[in-house]
Structure 1
Amino acid sequence: MNDFFPELTPIFKEFVETYAGRKVCVIGHARPDGDCIGSQIALSEMLELSGVDVLAVNADRIPEALNYLDGISRIGIVNPSGLGDLPLVYVDCADEFRVGPKTSEALADRRRVLNVDHHITNTRYAERNLIDADASATCEILAGIALDVGLDFGAPIAQAMYTGIVTDTGRFSYAATSSRVFELCSELVKRGASPQVATQNLFENETLSRMKLLERFLASLTLECDGKVCVGQLRQRDFVETNTSYQDTEGFVDYARTIKGVSVGVLLEERKTETKSSLRANRKELRVDQVAQLFGGGGHACAAAMSIRKPLNELRAGLLEALAERV
């Protein structure tokens, strides 16, 4: 037996004991990423191995790069009317609204029985909350708990967990990449996770259309706040003219952050009814999650995001004003 998450593992055990022989719905955040989908697959399998029946759903389609994961077919598009009165289990959601506006409204009266997450802004909105803001990924928490309870799992779960960790750590480069992360990944590889397969599917599988979208983002970059903030933006026409989707911007903001002298990278995306922004900082003390909260968003100290019904230029001006006080 291991001891990766001694405070959280007993809560997981209690949950399993309570819901063994029953069915729950595992739901992740809208516009899912590797940690969200990896967590949904991993937790669904963990619960079923523990005697809990599971239905897994998401409000949006799964990014193509994640289709290599075994178990991906078990995640369906959410249909609130088809969920009956199933208790809800949330993964990688800082609050209950992250599942998407229409979905959260439709599920407002449902029981939220479990919340597994690593965001510092998590509101602890469920009956049981497995939260560790020091964890690099929700999949890190799940991997630790699975090992703590001695769960006998193989390659499919290990690969899903590894995917969540490698994506949310920026390929093991972000500040939250601790020694525990490497210990857990070592255990996952022993159980069949393949770093090579993950890398080939996640990071070496680009489309030409996405590269053309990236070209436009890079061409838009400007330095602000005495060179400490780098901002790039994409308009609706950029997606249309390159035949790309909003999911294709994953990782773009990191190009802005990695420029010499820059402390915070900003990505602004003009969407049909709103503007989305992603923030990446190179130091925890900059607390970009607090900046995001000013605009109804949230996240981590070094990585945060928001979506707001304001024109792109208006959100850009507001963000620069807020960031100027921090960098």
Structure 2
Amino acid sequence: MNDSLSHLGALLRDASRIGIACHVRPDGDAIGSIVGLGRSLQLMGKAVSILSEDGVPPNLTFLAGSNLVQVSQAVPLELDVAVALDTAAKDRLGERTLTAFQNAPVLINVDHHGTNPRYGHFNHIDSASPAAGQLVYELLQVSQFPMDAMVRENLFAAISTDTGSFQYSSTNPRTHRIVAEMMEAGLDTAALATHLYQTHPLRRVLLQKALLNEMKFTCGQRVASWALSQALQEEIQIQPGDTEGLIDIMRSIEGVVAAVIFEELPDGRIRVSARSKDSRVNVSRVCGEFGGGGHVMAAGARLPGPVAEAESRFLEVLKNEIERTD
């Protein structure tokens, strides 16, 4: 059973020292959610530590309040309440963050991944929500917590990025109403969209060039995939966040029902990101075969290398999932 957002709000209202963190390798939903909630609590006079194991990726440093995010240190913090946002499994907070949170008597877990095992003392998991940022907005609203321009900017970034700029099927009427409410309060969505979707460093364009040159098609051209080598990452000096949105280029191809990026990590493992555009093709189930998970139409996993072997294993399971719908 879910703990109500109003109950979670009461726990936060009664706390003085609060830690907030998100998953490793944070994306827009993760950063926007922790800064949005953290800023609101700061406006209430709370002592708030906003943590990220990997800091803020360069593509999101334009966000007001991104400087409030601290890189997690392996030092236990004195906290009344710890909050995990947008983090499907506890270990995804990262080792240093877990150490920082270890003395907190209360852990609140707010997430929208259906695979979340409810690892908190109090949990609100809503897989129907398109973004953790939408859940944070609802938490602030129901609890009557303050929102200023910084809170709204970060929650818009969270919601917009995790809905594919409101294109994904998870986007619901409430999503649009939330954005409308924030616009009525003065939010400039056009300026934010320019930063989020129309401003890219050259290295990201070089990544896109490599993707277009190297992507492969399998399963009767219904699957598009690309292997991002460690050599290429080193050559163009890739930064966190540079690959955001690249997978959607492949998914947008006519006839393609699933897209996959196989990213070679420095330790030799392969980070798999999978996306579907047919709700019958459950990439979370496919990723689950390899210890990963996520959403039905957006999921990930990590496989042992080498990359060619990881590709072969994963694409075979994905092929079986697609053929199940035939």
User: Does the TM-score normalized on the shorter chain lie above 0.5?
Assistant: yes
Q: Which moved more, 1:159-168 or 1:283-292?
A: 283-292
Q: Would you say the 8 A contact 2:54–2:71 is kept in 1?
A: yes
Q: 2:256 aligns with which of 259, 262, 277?
A: 262
Alignment-derived partner of residue 288 in structure 2: 293
Q: CA deviation at 1:104?
A: 4.2
Q: Would you say the 8 A contact 1:233–1:268 is kept in 2?
A: yes
Q: Deviations over 1:101-132 (max 9, x none)?
A: 56447756755510111111111110111221
Q: Would you say the 8 A contact 1:45–1:157 is kept in 2?
A: yes
CA distance in structure 1 between the aligned counterparts of 2:21 and 2:203, rounded to whole angstroms? 30
The share of aligned pairs that are identical, in percent, is 28
Q: For residues 86 and 17 of structure 1, do their structure 2 counterparts lie closer, same or farther at Cα, with a shift above 3 Å needed?
A: closer
Q: For residues 317 and 42 of structure 1, do their structure 2 counterparts lie closer, same or farther at Cα, with a shift above 3 Å needed?
A: same
Q: Would you say the 8 A contact 2:261–2:272 is kept in 1?
A: yes
- Report whether the alignment pairs 1:31 with 2:11: no
Q: 1:219 aligns with which of 201, 213, 221?
A: 213
Tell me the TM-score normalised to structure 1 length. Answer: 0.91
- Report whether the alignment pairs 1:173 with 2:173: no
Q: Would you say the 8 A contact 1:80–1:107 is kept in 2?
A: no
- The AA in structure 1 aligned to 2:220 is D
CA distance in structure 1 between the aligned counterparts of 2:147 and 2:262, rounded to whole angstroms? 40
Q: 1:321 aligns with which of 313, 316, 319?
A: 316
Q: CA deviation at 1:99?
A: 1.8
Q: What SS class does the counterpart of residue 233 from structure 1 fall into?
A: strand
Q: Which moved more, 1:154-163 or 1:58-67?
A: 58-67
- The AA in structure 2 aligned to 1:154 is D
Q: 1:117 aligns with which of 111, 118, 121?
A: 111
Q: What SS class does the counterpart of residue 213 from structure 1 fall into?
A: helix
- The AA in structure 1 aligned to 2:318 is L
Tell me the TM-score normalised to structure 2 length. Answer: 0.92
- Report whether the alignment pairs 1:240 with 2:271: no
- The AA in structure 2 aligned to 1:244 is I
Matched residues, number: 320
**Where does structure 1 lack aligned partners over 5 or more consecutive residues?**
1-5
- Report whether the alignment pairs 1:280 with 2:275: yes
Q: Deviations over 1:71-127 (max 9, x none)?
A: 111111100215246642101101111123564477567555101111111111101
Summarize the alignment of residues 1-327 of structure 1 with structure 2, pairs less than 5 Å apart: 8-19=4-15, 22-81=16-75, 83-84=77-78, 87-101=81-95, 103-104=97-98, 111=105, 113-273=107-267, 274-327=269-322
Q: Would you say the 8 A contact 2:75–2:99 is kept in 1?
A: no
